Structure formats: structure tokens, C-alpha cells
Chains A and B, each alone.
Chain A
């Protein structure tokens, strides 16, 4: 069974631009969550989607948004990029009724 796939692996953007990251969960997993990882800060929860509905949301500004499609694939969008948005963005999926997270390899976003 294929693991969680995130694309692209690396992104370089400039301040003010917007970016869209993609995540394909493990087949059969309907929950997809997103985390921001920065050195020294650990992983910070962005949001979680289940069956196309946002179920939970972390404390990030409205510039961070996401969505989930009917095939459970999810996208995350960041608008008006700031230097502080530079981070590794990790997506994780889990099976229904399970809290075990399976992470993707992440998208490394650099904002210049």
C-alpha cells in the first residue's frame, strides 16, 4: 500500500506570493491533517479534514487555508507569503476510528 504522498517536495517563493501544497493520503484513509514544522518549535497543528469537512483548526491566521476532495486528497494554500512561513509542511493521514498518524515526507517551503 502506498504511503502518504506530498507534492512538491521543495518550493521557493517570494514574499507576497501564494502557494498550494498537495497531499494524497494512504488509500482508504479519510482523515488528513496538516502540520507546520520549524526548528525548535516542533510540529504545530494547522487543520484536519475528514470527508471533505474541516473538523479541527489550529491557531494560524486566515492566510492558511485548506480543502479536501471527494477522493480524500487534500490541498493547503497559503496566501500573501511572509518570511516566517518558511517551514516544512507535513501532511498526515489516518484511518477512520484511528488516531495513528501516518506522515508524508513533507514540502519544504522557503520564502525569500
Chain B
């Protein structure tokens, strides 16, 4: 089955700096890659997603890039703010339906 690896597991940045989280996947049939943000004690929420026919997608301070050949995708957060502090999960979808394989999460801390 699919295997998603995520790095780093923890990340601390100064406010205003950029943060990058990287994920790799193993199944070349995976075609949809969402990112979820989970604040402490709260539910995961979708923040951005990308499909395999697109190389990059941006939404204000957040961007995701996908390299299908290398089977890796990354989340980029620019101009980080304290409210960006959370655990971020990447995921890859199973092509047969709503079955997702999640990375183990990155705990991001933005230091004011």
C-alpha cells in the first residue's frame, strides 16, 4: 500500500521567516495531495490541496509544490505568524476513493 513520509517532525521558526515541510509518497497512482492543519485540541482542517496534474498551487501565504517524478510534495508558508503554530499533516489519496494515507505530522512553532 501507499506509504507517506513527512519531515521534519518538529520545526521552529522566527516570526516572519518561511517554513517548509516535505513529504514523499510511494504509490505512483496517488493523484490528490491535501495538507491539514491541526491546532492543539482541535480538529484537522484542510488548508490547501494539489492534484497530480498541477505542479504548484498558492493561496496567499501558503503554497504547495508537487514533483510527480520524484514522488514528493512540499508545503511552504511565508511570512509566518504565531497563529501558524500547529501540527501540519500531509496526505496522499488512494485512487479508488476517499482513503487517505497521512504523514506523521510536523509540529510547527512560530516564535514571536
Partner of B96, one of A33, A56, A58: A56
Partner of B100, one of A41, A45, A102, A105: A45
Partner of A99, one of B34, B43, B44: B34
Taking residues whose C-beta sits less than 8 angstroms from the other chain, chain A's interface range is 20 to 34
> Chain A interface mostly helix, strand, loop or mixed?
strand
Flag if B34 contacts A100 (CB, 8 Å): yes
Interface residues of B in 64-112 (CB under 8 A from A): 89, 91, 93-94, 96-105
**How far is it, in angstroms, between the C-alpha of A70 and the C-alpha of B22 when the chains are bound?**
40
Flag if B101 contacts A45 (CB, 8 Å): yes
Instruction: Identify the B interface with A (CB < 8 A).
Output: 1, 6, 32, 34, 36, 42-46, 49, 89, 91, 93-94, 96-105
Instruction: Identify the A interface with B (CB < 8 A).
Output: 4, 31, 33, 35, 40-45, 48, 50, 55-56, 58-59, 90, 94, 99-106
